[in-house]
Amino acid sequence: MESDTSHDTSTAAANANDQTGKKEKSAAQLKKEAEKEAKKKAKLEKFAKKKQKQEAVAKQGSDSKNNAKPSKKREVSKVSYDSDTKPGEKKDISRPLPDSYSPAYVEAAWYTWWMKEGLFKPEYNTGDVTTPVPAGNFMICIPPPNVTGSLHLGHALMCSVEDCIIRWRRMKGQRTLWNPGCDHAGIATQVVVEKKLWRERQVTRHDIGREQFLEEVWKYKHEKGGRIYEQIKCLGASADWDRAFFSMDENCCRAVKEAFIRLHDEGIIYRNLRLVNWSCILRSAIADIEVDKVELTGRTLLNVPGYDEKVEFGVLVLFAYPVEDSDEKLIVATTRIETMLGDTAVAVHPKDERYNHLRGKYVLHPFCDRRMPIVFDDFVEMSFGTGAVKITPAHDQNDYECGLRHNLPFVETIDENGMITDVCAQFKGMKRFEARKAVLEALKDKGLYIETKENPMIVPICSRSKDIIEPLLKPQWYCKCDDMAANAAKAVKDGRIKIIPNMFEKTWFQWLDNIRDWCISRQLWWGHRIPAYFVTIDDPEVAKGSDADNHFWISAHDEDEALNKAANRFNCSKEKITLKQDEDVLDTWFSAALFPFAIFGWPNETIDLKTFYPGSLLETGHDILFFWVARMVFFGMKLMGDVPFKEIYLHAIVRDAHGRKMSKSLGNIIDPLDVISGIGLEELHEQLRNSNLDKKEIAKAIQGQKDDFPQGIPECGADALRFTLLAYSSQGRDINLDVGRTWGYRKFCNKIWNATKFALSVIGDNFVPSSQDFTKASLIDQWILSRLSAAVDTCNTNFDTYMFQDVTTAIYNFWWYDLCDVYIECLKPVFQESNEEMQSIARNVLYICLDYGLRLLHPCMPFVTEELWQRLPSKPKDSPPSISVTRYPENFTWRNTGIEDDVALWQDIARTVRSIRTEYQTNKTKTEIFVKCTNEEIASVVSRYRQEIVTLSYSSNLTVITSGNAPPGCAISTVSDKCEVHVMLRGIIDVQKELSKLSLKQTKLSEQLQRLRDSTQSENYDKVPENVKALNAEKISQIQTEMQKLEKAIEVFKIIE
């Protein structure tokens, strides 16, 4: 069938050609077309192969750092610790170390032992917190995660940084306290429990009432609240868990009440009627930090909770108001047409000459009996819209202030449920965004609609409910901030508080200089109920108070106290007084602002409060600098009379490897525990399927996971994750986290593991460290001690200034490049010889490097350092039980920059030799090398380190030449203007075979170069796109460079021949 079909097709084609009457093509034309077709086919095949290769790489996954195929390299054996060690017992270290590093093995058992030993408590060593210690105290209060939350990378960064600091300080001999805790997270927790109630029982909080609902929240807290603590412990956080606080525990409740009462009695906290950010879904005011400001470039349809259809945003509607007693109409513009139902004026700029004739005039509202003045106010932008702005004082912040300035009526047209009030009968009871359409149609019916334009705008969205924020006029509690802000600014200016990085000082001052009073009340049930009582007096001579009138509110610890204070204020008997406690709760940030002293029992004068306030450091993300950090400074200075901490270190924001914000819908959120323990791709997908994302977002997120983690996430361990986050911590920059880099630091752990295993094998179980007199030590021994001294200085300097990137670089370089790549390699010949004195010195030096090298690393990698340090032989009986309470290395005197310079020279020589060996593919055969020196000093250095150069370059012999030439048959490379390396190749490689290979390659490159040159010299080349021309020029340059190298290599081989 196939052959018949093809014959019929070709015949039909031939007949068709005949019918067209076109001439047959010449042989030359056919040949040209065939060549063209062949080239096209070759390109397509090349493209197909390239695409197939890319798909294969994507399917297998790739290591972004070394472009290696990780499918095999990431398959490592997972070893578990299976000894019967009960929680709190010391790990069994009598068993031999596994062959290779395994996080599951290393991180088992240590944490519970650390806790049982009390190593993380400030009482360790002294038995109390009052006995002075020479190094002083160091205290950090943890930025408390949400009680219902799960660990994310922001927490992991915070824990890594803070634990690193606290471990370093502890090892420096300071009394340390890292006080953990978690926050009740008012809105977040209430939303979670409300969803749970609806999912499980189809009831709302209003169905079961406040008391029962709070019981449900506490039940949920007891079930889930400890989860985040256990996750933080997995990271090795050395916090004092006996002092863990919860923002709704007795201490915090007492502190919150006391703070509110004191500040209210002083007039700093007051009651007032103002505009607030209102979530109609939550039916609560929310904080600014809980509002996501979404930028729209133009017309956009958004999903809004409670609406079946998407709602239009990003447009500007123009409509007209009739001017009273005139045929004129005043055109105004708005992005929220439904709010025109609450308009009470139209504003224009005083200098706008277009509207000077309307001074003293009014416009008429088309849907209700309302005369609205035309007011002149300089807040109006003459260039926006028509230059005339509708004023809705009850639903817009700018309009609110304008309304106050011009004494306008405040007409509430949207209620707390997002429904239209009875202000305009024809729209009463409509949902606000349904009214948006209805108002528009009604304006068209009256001939007042002008047009709709696309308009860039910012839409405020509630981060919790995803609802569109509605500015509503509500009586709320406010905190005056101006004086406290001035004090907080002064504290930074005079140095009592230091902000790191200092680039945030400018932002700090700008925010404090422009501060507004803080709305501290929330219409929730979960949280600190406001300790304020509304007073009603049963006396006709006493005017009835308004809910918004601060005078009729009494703050007190309980109702009896409130009754007494009310009787004194209103000068009446208690019998005439009725009290009702406010139903609202305080903003979560209010209680959080009290943490630095509330956690120690304030207002009681406790020992902990006297010892640990003020704290030493506040470490957190720069995104909550004002919502939390500044307010802690406010309340600390106001209520305690002193700053709450001396330094503020602001860490970066963690983003994904592509620099994108972490988002569930992108599928790029990484659970730190998944990095620690590893997780398969399908398991990652399952996490998404079990989340609250809708189906479309899940599909998008799953694709994102496939792109970023094609093989899932390998088991990297807590130490590698911590080290990664610290290594990324360059002050002032966001962190683009690549899991591939974490895998690289897992390899670093394995490097340390193998180096320690080797060192322990040559040191021996019976080794006893001797006095540290190294006057007879070899040059390489002196060099490694010098490098250790340099690393110690670098780490201490940069720990002190929070430059963690420099700390990790110093430690990494010492372990990997100095100790492993050079010193240990140079020691191998030493232990193969019979010089016992040199071996004894080398063992001592190696022991010092292990001991102090592990201590250097411990604050960053607590688990692997504890595992290996515990196995060091012959520790004194009075030595600390754990590496975490040993002294951190400091003030070493072994630094010798002269020796370091010498070693740097011979390392360059060794690297040059290795480079030549790689270039000529002689890595498996030892070669003889000749080092030609034009300087006696350099020749002396090379001679002194002859054995080390031979060892590290894998050579058979080294000859130093100061006069004459090296023998023929060598490849030559320059190290410096005074030093040249000759590597003997004659007799090692097949010269004719290599020349043949190079000649063939040279021919192919010449042909490629000619084709490229021909294409660039064609008549139509000027029509080729500029990017293609640039690409061709780059290819030509690359081929020319490669050909030059080939010519040089051929010359070398001809000399060798």
Is residue 300 within 8 Å of 572, Cβ to Cβ? no
Which residues are CB-neighbours of 936 under 8 A, at least 6 positions away?
Answer: 962
Note the pLDDT tens digit of each residue in 315-360. 999 999 999 999 999 999 999 999 999 999 999 999 999 999 999 9
Q: How far is CA 183 from the centre of its chain?
A: 20
Q: Is the dihedral angle over the CA atoms 804, 807, 808, 809 positive or is it negative?
A: positive
Q: Take residue 964 and report the two structure tokens written for it.
A: 């004459």
Identify the band that residue 968 occupies on the pLDDT scale cut at 50, 70 and 90: confident
Mean pLDDT of 114-140: 96
Per-residue confidence (pLDDT) for residue 731, from 0 to 100: 62
Q: Is 53 exposed, middle or buried (0-12, 13-18, 19+ CB in 10 A)?
A: exposed
Per-residue confidence (pLDDT) for residue 143, from 0 to 100: 92
Instruction: Give residue 548's identity as a one-letter amino acid code.
Output: A
Per-residue confidence (pLDDT) for residue 453, from 0 to 100: 93
Distance CA 189, CA 526 (A): 8
Cis peptide bond upstream of 769, omega within 30: no
pTM: 0.83
Is residue 316 within 8 Å of 335, Cβ to Cβ? yes
Distance CA 395, CA 418 (A): 12
Note the pLDDT tens digit of each residue in 265-324. 999 999 999 999 999 998 999 877 778 899 999 999 999 999 999 999 999 999 999 999
Note the pLDDT tens digit of each residue in 681-700. 999 888 888 876 677 778 88
Nearest to 941 by CA among 906, 896, 980, 897: 906
Half-sphere exposure for 175 (CA within 13 Å, toward CB): 19
Identify the band that residue 1 occupies on the pLDDT scale cut at 50, 70 and 90: very low
Mean pLDDT of 137-162: 90
Identify the band that residue 667 occupies on the pLDDT scale cut at 50, 70 and 90: low
* DSSP state letters, 629-645: IIHHHHHIIIIISS-SE
Average pLDDT of the residues of the chain: 88
Distance CA 830, CA 836 (A): 9
Note the pLDDT tens digit of each residue in 984-1030. 988 888 778 878 888 888 899 999 999 999 888 888 888 888 888 88
Per-residue confidence (pLDDT) for residue 664, from 0 to 100: 59
